Amino acid sequence: MSDVLRRIEIPIALTIIATLIQVIPYYVNIPVLDTVASRASNSVLLIVAYATFIGVISILQVHGKRIQRQSEGWYYSILVIGFTVIMALTGLPLPEAGLGVNNNIYNWLFTNVLTPLGGTMYSIIAFFITSAAFRAFRARNLESAIVLVAGTIMVMGNAPLITNLIPPIADISLWIREVPNMATMRGVMIGAALGSIALAVRTLMGIERGYLRGGQE
Amino acid sequence: MSLLERISNLDRRWIYLLAWVFVLFPLLNPLGLPIPISSDAEKWYAYVENEINDGDVVLFTPMYGVSGMPELFPMTVATMKHLLTKDVKIIVVSFWTEGPLVFNTLLTQVNPEDFGYVYGEDWIRLGYIPGSETAMGSLARGIQNTVAADYVEGRPLNSFPVMEGIETGEDIDIIVSFETGTPGTPEWMRQFNAPYGTPQITGCIGVSVSGMIPYVQSGQLQALMPGLTVSAEYEILLERPGLAVAGVDAVSTSHVYIVLLVILGNIAYFLTREER
């Protein structure tokens, strides 16, 4: 019996069934299949919601071990665990106990800790860009010169101070965005879509087995 | 060592310090630099003003976390204010974990009650739905099957008058999405626009713009708000200067600084090339 359950045809069949349940109602209106697809999607939402708990457990395990072993920077792990526990507990959906989305601690931590930290992380990019602008954006050959000029015009087109002083810059940056960029992006999107279709067909036919036992028979 | 060589080998900490000055100075001392209005801002304003009609059902979706707030929050606030001046039904939902918390912050800036909007009658919050594109597809097929209860009061959706007659993606008249990545516009397109023809307008961070343009040109995306500069222009069109106008001087000075660095770096590179 256990040998039968280990047969590779079973997960392949399950993949094919699950895929067709989602794909067919997208193109054909069959009420029964539509209901089945809807229920399958809802069950995925539940699985994802449950997976959140795995994330919390994983954080506790990883950082718990770092604290236990006093590895480098272990004191940061105390902060991670501390804030994870506080946010998880204060955010529990128990409004009658004063917990949940309206809890003051939960909202205070979001507004005064998470928001400025997130903004700071994003803002750090500005420093890397300025350093790269000075050290890496060099016209070493024709190709890099084209990229450099186009990139610089795009930067200038996003600065009201420059577009106000030199109005044609706005038009040129708009042209770069809507002609060469659009053509390239459209090509990339069509290529990626064709690749996805090919992968889906291979998976449905059981040829693509990379997701099963590491692709081995 | 010549001056050019010194410039070429400038310690990056000086570059960082100047970047800090170029951004911080205009934030502390607003320069009031002129802001020309672009076609992107005009299209966005015209669409919200003229194409979203009274009684329309608007799916308003902050699809970003705190890291996207500096760039996207001003346009989210401005558009919400604009929508609230109209008589529409607003459903707020997010497929990003921090989306509802971002919207909580928005409510500290905009109170729908000030515009005569009553929670549950004119607008509702569905909170965060886990599951990315699968969840979007599920919402499109059946809103009340996907979300058991609202985010604020925890009551079933069918107990709110605002949800009357709103069952599937077909009942949504417009999606207004603000986003930093995936899930975002491509996923909305696949799950709402393609099967139901739902029109959409998207506000995005600057680096996402190139990927959005094909959707604008194909007519699937009715308007695009790319980044903070256009947000400031939109605030001016709305005659409600806000967070974006306050920050756009810093955008100008920091961009000028980058252009200067590129020019200076290349001059130093070319003049010292033979010496190397």
**Tens digit of each residue's pLDDT (9 = 90 or more) over A27-78:** 888 899 988 988 888 888 888 888 888 888 999 999 999 999 999 999 999 9
Number of compact structural domains in chain B: 2
Other Cβ atoms closer than 10 A to A51: 11
Structure confidence at residue B39 (pLDDT): 95
Euclidean distance between the first and the last CA atom of chain B, given in angstroms as a whole number = 12
| Contact assignment for B15 to A130 by CB distance below 8 Å | yes
Q: Residues 111-140, chain B: which have Cβ within 8 Å of A?
A: 127, 129-132, 134-135, 137-138
* Contact between residue B102 and residue B73 where contact means Cβ atoms under 8 Å apart: yes
Kindly state whether residues B148 and B177 are assigned to the same domain. yes
- Same domain? For B265 and B132 the reply is no
Range of the domain at B82: 39-241
Residue A207 has pLDDT above 70, yes or no: yes
Cβ <8 Å between A182 and B213: yes
Task: Report CA torsion sign: B21, B22, B25, B27.
Answer: negative
Q: What count of other Cβ atoms lies within 10 Å of the Cβ of residue B177?
A: 24
Query: For residue B257, what are the CA distances in angstroms to A88, A211, B198?
Result: 43, 48, 42
B19 Cβ contact partners less than 8 Å away, ≥ 6 residues apart: A126, A127, A130, B254, B257
The pLDDT > 90 percentage for chain A reads 45
Question: Do B55 and B86 touch, CB atoms closer than 8 A?
Answer: no
Residues of A in contact with B252 (CB under 8 A): 159-162
Q: Does A160 touch chain B (CB under 8 A)?
A: yes
Please indicate, yes or no, whether residues B147 and B267 belong to a single structural domain of this protein.
Answer: no
Tokens 């928001």 belong to: A115
Q: What is the pLDDT of residue B1?
A: 64
Instruction: Specify whether B174 is located in the same domain as B266.
Output: no
CA distance B83 to B106: 14
Same domain, B122 and B16: no
Residue B80 in domain: yes
Interface touch B12/A131, C-beta < 8 Å? yes
Reported as a pLDDT band with limits 50, 70 and 90, residue A216 is low
pLDDT band at B168; cut points 50, 70, 90: very high
Does the pLDDT of residue B231 top 80, yes or no? yes
Q: What is the pLDDT of residue A92?
A: 87
Residues B213 and B269 in one domain: no
Q: What is the 3-state secondary structure (H, E, C) of chain B?
A: CCHHHHHHCCCHHHHHHHHHHHHHHHHHCCCCCCCCCCHHHHHHHHHHHHHCCCCCEEEEEEECCHHHHHHHHHHHHHHHHHHHCCCCEEEEEECCCCHHHHHHHHHCCCCHHHHCCCECCCEEEEEECCCHHHHHHHHHHCHHHHCCECCCCCCEHHHCHHHCCCCCHHHCCEEEEEECCCCCHHHHHHHHHHHHCCCEEEEECHHHHHHHHHHHHCCCEEEEEEHHHHHHHHHHHHCCCCHHHHHHHHHHHHHHHHHHHHHHHHHHHHHHHCCC
**Nearest chain A residue (CA) to B64:** A118
- Number of Cα atoms under 13 Å in the Cβ half of residue A210: 5
Contacts of A94 in chain B (CB under 8 A): none
Whether residues B15 and B84 fall in one domain: no
Return the closest-CA partner of residue B255 out of B70, B19, B4, B9. B19
**Three-state secondary-structure class, residue A141:** coil
User: What value does the CA radius of gyration of chain B take, rounded to a whole number of Å?
Assistant: 22
Q: How far apart are CA B48 and CA B242, in angstroms?
A: 18
CA atoms within 13 A on the CB side of B235: 22
Predicted TM-score of the model (pTM): 0.89
pLDDT band at B226 (very low <50, low <70, confident <90, very high): very high
Chain B CB contacts of A42 under 8 Å are: 138, 145-146
As a whole number of angstroms, the distance between CA A45 and CA B95 comes to: 11
Chain A, residues 121-140, CB within 8 A of chain B, namely 121-123, 126-127, 129-131, 133-135, 137-139
Domain assignment present for residue B190? The answer is yes
Asked if residue B247 is part of any domain, the answer here is: no
**What residues of B are in contact with residue A173 (Cβ under 8 Å)?**
none
Choose between A3 and B210: higher pLDDT.
B210
Express each pLDDT in A155-180 by its tens digit: 999 999 999 999 999 999 999 999 99
B219 and B84, same domain (yes or no): yes
Q: Does A110 touch chain B (CB under 8 A)?
A: yes
**Nearest-angstrom CA–CA distance, B35 and A160:** 5
Q: Is the ipTM of this complex over 0.95?
A: no
pLDDT class of B200 with cuts at 50, 70, 90:
very high
One domain for residues B66 and B158: yes
Task: Examine the pLDDT at A127 and tell me if it is beyond 70.
Answer: yes
Compute the distance between CA of residue B274 and CA of residue A130 in angstroms, rounded to an integer: 26
Is residue B222 domain-resident?
A: yes
In chain A, DSSP assigns E strands to none
Please tell me which residue, B207 or B7, carries the higher pLDDT value: B207
Q: Are residues B203 and B92 in the same domain?
A: yes
Q: pLDDT by residue (tens digit) across B243-252?
A: 999 999 999 9
- Calculate how close chain A gets to B171, using CA atoms only, in Å: 17
Whether residue A3 is predicted with pLDDT greater than 90 in this model: the reply is: no
Q: What is the model's pLDDT at position A159?
A: 94
B61 with B143, same domain: the answer is yes
- Which residue do the tokens 């001046």 mark? B85
pLDDT score of A45: 86
- What are the residues whose beta carbons fall under 8 Å from the beta carbon of A34, sequence distance 6 or more? A25, B141
* Cβ–Cβ < 8 Å for A59, A81: yes
Give B 197-256 residues with CB within 8 A of chain A. 206, 209-211, 213-214, 217, 227, 229, 232, 248, 251-256
- Across the interface, whether the CB atoms of B146 and A45 are under 8 A apart is answered yes
- The answer to whether residue B246 sits within a structural domain is no
Write out chain B residues lying below 8 Å of A186, CB-based. 214
Please report, for the domain that includes residue B115, its CATH number: 3.40.50
pLDDT, tens only, A104-122: 999 899 888 988 888 888 8
Give dist(CA A104, CA A90) in Å, integer: 9
Give the pLDDT of residue A1. Answer: 63
Please answer yes or no on whether B105 and A159 come within 8 Å at the CB atom: no
In a domain, B268, yes or no: yes
Identify the band that residue A9 occupies on the pLDDT scale cut at 50, 70 and 90: confident
pLDDT range class, residue B257, cuts 50, 70, 90: very high
User: pLDDT higher for A206 or B93?
Assistant: B93
Residue B276 has pLDDT above 70, yes or no: no
What average pLDDT does the structure give for chain B?
Answer: 93
Taking only residues 174 to 193 of chain A, the set having a beta carbon closer than 8 angstroms to any beta carbon of chain B reads 174, 177-178, 181-182, 185-186, 189
pLDDT band at residue A125 under the 50/70/90 scheme: confident
| Closest chain B C-alpha to A148 CA, distance in angstroms | 9
- Chain B hits for A159, CB-CB cut-off 8 Å, are 229, 251-252, 255-256, 259
Residues B98, B178, single domain; the answer is yes
